[in-house]
Amino acid sequence: MMVMAIVMVMVKKTNSEQQFTRQISVIFLRQCIAKGIGVGYTINMKYARILFERKVYVMLRTFALRNYKNFRDEIKIDFGNVAGYQFSTDCITDGLISKMLIYGRNATGKTNFGKAIMDIGSTMFGGPGYIENGVFLNADSEEDSAGFSYIFDFDEMELIYQYSRFSNQELRDEELVINGVSIFRCDFLNKEYHFDNLKCVDAETANVERYLQVLEGGEETEGVIEPKLPFLRWLISNVALKNDSILIRLANYVRRMVMITVGNEMPYRVRRMSKAFYDSLENPERLKDLEDFLNAMGIECRLILEKLPDGQKELYFAHEKLVPFYENASSGTLALVDLYRRLIPKVWDASLIYLDEFDAFYHYEMAENVIKFFKKKYPRCQMIMTSHNTNLMTNRLMRPDCMFILSRRGTLTALCNATTRELREGHNLEKMYISGEFEKYE
């Protein structure tokens, strides 16, 4: 109850702090509940601010993937591979690429790659990733597992979380390395476990025996039937970690990773899923905000939310007669509203967003506007966008080290590394791409 009181006090602060404190309070509360204690910690604003400032510095530096779906050989994305361009510097944050565009022919694996990046979320928290049960391993390879490796930058620290899995449901091994020190290593295949350095993450109190029991099937875990419970997930939910613990901060980052596939959303599904969104639009300010957003992106319209006699809400375009929104909105408008719904009204900001074919239905100017909007609104967010729209391949908006080509062979190459030519600001990258300048890497 004390925690609640603190939350109340902090709500008076500025907007971003407010969002943040709400967020850490939630984590904090969860922890307290998990530990079965309600008191003992107090968070003061100064402490929260330290956390807040630190939180900002967690970023994914590299992600590497092997033997997953169409990627037989290792494919790596290195956000730290920045060239010294003096233009479009808003694509770079703290020396890492924060706005990235990926091009590639059809069926080169742009969506698969996004799913792979998001895999850490289902490993750490379970979730929908475990339900899906399609082809997981590369179909041309004889290896028995797919490898995932994530390197995060935490202030001065480097955290590597890597694991390999046989399938969506089953881990093969798992390892956490911080600053070169292996914190734990679990080899589920050979049943070899090393928990030697848990104290480095202040988790020496972890009852690993209990974990091993769970692993052996001695105990049901949270109703999730999963043969190999990832140790990291168990650790985070079962050990009293401090709020500034590196693991809590990692969890905080991973929880805020989002993948959005714009092209495949069916309007009716959107409608069903978005009851909460509708409810939020009852607030005239929120409705106005949506309207402003659509107008700013190039869709001129006025919106009205009406309550039907049966209590349901319906969104309309405001004309002389009301026109139902979802039945009549264009594909582009629907896609844009969906994007809005999934990102903007949230109380938290995403840490990483994988926007697959984000501008499939957009006019080229709208696609540009959306990118500009992202840059301004989410300067720190690591955004990976895939697109077929070569109009965006321009130094006005992006830069050669932030635009990548995904090839049929499963290689990901930045434009500046896809030619021996020195790429300059004045170059017409789109024309160069079309005329085959980067042919060898397509």
Which residues would be at the binding site for other proteins (CB under 8 A)?
419-422, 426-428, 431-432, 434-437, 439
Strand partners, 313: 307
Task: Closer to other proteins by CB, 225 or 434: give it.
Answer: 434
Task: Closer to other proteins by CB, 83 or 303: give it.
Answer: 83
Neighbouring C-beta atoms of residue 244, cutoff 10 Å: 14
Nearest to 338 by CA among 270, 264, 259: 270
Shortest Å, Cβ 440 to other proteins: 9
Task: Closer to other proteins by CB, 180 or 426: give it.
Answer: 426
Task: Closer to other proteins by CB, 169 or 394: give it.
Answer: 394
Shortest Å, Cβ 86 to other proteins: 12
Shortest Å, Cβ 394 to other proteins: 12
With beta carbons less than 8 A apart as the criterion, state whether 361 and 264 touch: no
CA 44/CA 3 separation, integer angstroms: 11
Task: Closer to other proteins by CB, 347 or 434: give it.
Answer: 434
CA 72/CA 147 separation, integer angstroms: 10
Task: Closer to other proteins by CB, 133 or 420: give it.
Answer: 420
CA 79/CA 74 separation, integer angstroms: 16
Shortest Å, Cβ 419 to other proteins: 8
Shortest Å, Cβ 421 to other proteins: 5
Shortest Å, Cβ 416 to other proteins: 11
Task: Closer to other proteins by CB, 183 or 398: give it.
Answer: 398
CA 404/CA 394 separation, integer angstroms: 12
Task: Closer to other proteins by CB, 269 or 408: give it.
Answer: 408
Neighbouring C-beta atoms of residue 441, cutoff 10 Å: 18
CB-neighbour burial class of residue 14 (10 A; exposed 0-12, middle 13-18, buried 19+): exposed
Shortest Å, Cβ 392 to other proteins: 17
CA 371/CA 383 separation, integer angstroms: 10
Q: How wide is the angle at C-alpha 388 spanned by C-alphas 386 and 389, nearest 5°?
A: 105
Amino acid at 177: V
Neighbouring C-beta atoms of residue 373, cutoff 10 Å: 15
Task: Closer to other proteins by CB, 269 or 431: give it.
Answer: 431
Determine phi and psi for 383, rounding to 5 degrees.
-110, 130
CA 399/CA 417 separation, integer angstroms: 12
DSSP one-letter code for 320: S
Determine phi and psi for 47, rounding to 5 degrees.
-65, -45
**Judging by DSSP bridges, how do beta strands 157-165 and 412-414 pair with one another?**
unpaired
- 360, containing H or E segment: none
Shortest Å, Cβ 408 to other proteins: 16
Shortest Å, Cβ 364 to other proteins: 17
